[in-house]
Amino acid sequence: MWFNSAQGDGKSMKEKALLKSHTHEQNDEEVLYHSDFIQLYQASEEELYKELCNGLSAPLAYVQPKYFYDELGSKLFAAICELPEYYPTRTEAAIFNTHLDEIAEAVGLGTVLIDLGAGDCAKASRLFTALQPAQYVPVDISVEFLRDAVAQLQQRFPHIRMTGLGMDFSTAIHLPDAVQKSKRLFFYPGSSIGNFSPDQAVAFLQRLRSACDDDGGLLIGVDLVKDHAILNAAYDDVLGVTASFNLNVLSHLNKLLQANFDIRLWRHVSFFNAEQSRIEMYLEARCSHAVKWHGGERVFKEGERIHTENSYKYTQEGFEKLLQASGMVVNRTWTDEQNWFMVCHARVQ
Ligand code: AVI
């Protein structure tokens, strides 16, 4: 682990190698920054194999949702966000647009904006003018996903220090010294918190809380419980984009595991489970057949499923309780007129 191999100044060899030594130019009055990139620990191929094989061999087979996002999967997700049925993206964007000044007032200026799952950095960059962050820290699984977007942003906002981090933030959060410790504001939009179970969500939020000083906070997007027909349509659109997104995980597995999934033999299944307050997504075998992969094989019977995703939907009160259990307290919330989605600012307790 990168953190254990830290030496002396707390930076790992890898981190040192990737952190550019020259990070800003000081003119008479102004500081112009060059973006830094730090790649922290990445899972090895063996760990990846093990994780995937365990899931495929389990009595109720599963694949973790992070495997949706190969190159095509990321494009299909971007297409989902454009669908009329998939309300979360546009509803959240409208809440940010409408309440930007109030949001800036609630979180305060000059924060260290830590953007979890930043991707193209588009959502966070729309906040820059209002929030005037002191430092912007986009985080994604690999710095390679961030490089172009951050380089362009740095040109547009040369006065904001930008430090791109490559790490799997879903399992551990160890921020390097290059990220200022005070005034950290974690930014976690898109209701991605819904892809954790409530217990996992509490553990994740606790890790965020631990990574902050007492002046830290969280700005998060949360999808709310609503009419089941609206929820079901959002995860089973008429164009079949979500079905393609789900099925594409098999083609990703074929590449990662040298597997021989025949995608035509599988169908997309999704529904809202009201008892658990979550959308469940599966791939279901259309007929009995055998599948082989590097180091394993299995016969999937007709109707047998691979669980690919849960997407939990919260009530406002339910989510506030989750925050409290994590050592955070709600400062302010904003919703749309239909109460479909919530943006929440929480402070550490
Ligand atoms: C990324 N995440 C918040 C999406 C969701 O709504 O749970 C992923 C998704 N799965 C199907 N459609 C969108």
DSSP, res 226: -
Pocket residues: Cβ below 6 A from ligand 1: 80, 88, 190-192, 194-195, 235, 242, 309, 311
272 Cα: distance to centroid of ligand 1 (angstroms): 13
Q: Where are the alpha helices (DSSP H) in 34-131?
A: 45-57, 71-80, 87-107, 122-125, 128-131
Point out the ligand 1 atom lying closest to the alpha carbon of residue 270: 11
Cα separation, 202 vs 283, whole angstroms? 28
The pLDDT, as a whole number, for residue 5 is 28
- Give me the CATH topology for the region 33-38+85-225+314-348: Rossmann fold (3.40.50)
Let me know: does 123 contact 190? Beta carbons within 8 Å: yes
* Strand (E) or helix (H) holding 266: strand 266-273
pLDDT along the chain (349 residues), means of 10: 31 41 58 90 87 97 96 96 98 98 98 97 97 97 90 95 94 94 98 98 98 97 98 98 98 97 98 98 98 96 98 98 97 98 97
Measure 343 CA to ligand 1 centroid, in angstroms: 17
> Which residue, judged by its Cα, is nearest atom 12 of ligand 1?
235
Nearest residue (by CA) to ligand 1, atom 3, is 192
Distance 341 CA to ligand 1 centre (A): 14
Q: Which residues touch 226 (CB under 8 Å, ≥6 apart)?
A: 313, 338, 339, 340
Q: Is 150 exposed, middle or buried (0-12, 13-18, 19+ CB in 10 A)?
A: buried
Domain ranges of the chain: 33-38+85-225+314-348, 45-83+227-312
Rounded distance from Cα 102 to ligand 1 centre (Å):
27
Whole-angstrom Cα Rg for the chain: 21
Task: Take residue 338 and report the two structure tokens written for it.
Answer: 């239909």
Pocket test for ligand 1, best of 68, 192, 273 (most atoms within 8 A of CB): 192
Q: What is the distance in A from the centroid of ligand 1 to the CA of 159?
A: 34
- Predicted pLDDT at 144: 87
Per-residue model confidence (pLDDT) at position 117? 96
Q: What does the block give as tokens for 280? A: 């469940």
Ligand 1: centre distance to CA 231 (Å): 11
What pLDDT, on the 0 to 100 scale, is given for residue 36? 93
Task: Specify the pLDDT at position 84.
Answer: 98
Q: Which residue's CA lies nearest to atom 1 of ligand 1?
A: 192
d(CA 311, ligand 1 centre) in Å: 7
Ligand 1 centre and the CA of 342: distance in Å? 16
Best of 80, 223, 307 for a ligand 1 pocket test (most atoms within 8 Å of beta carbon): 80
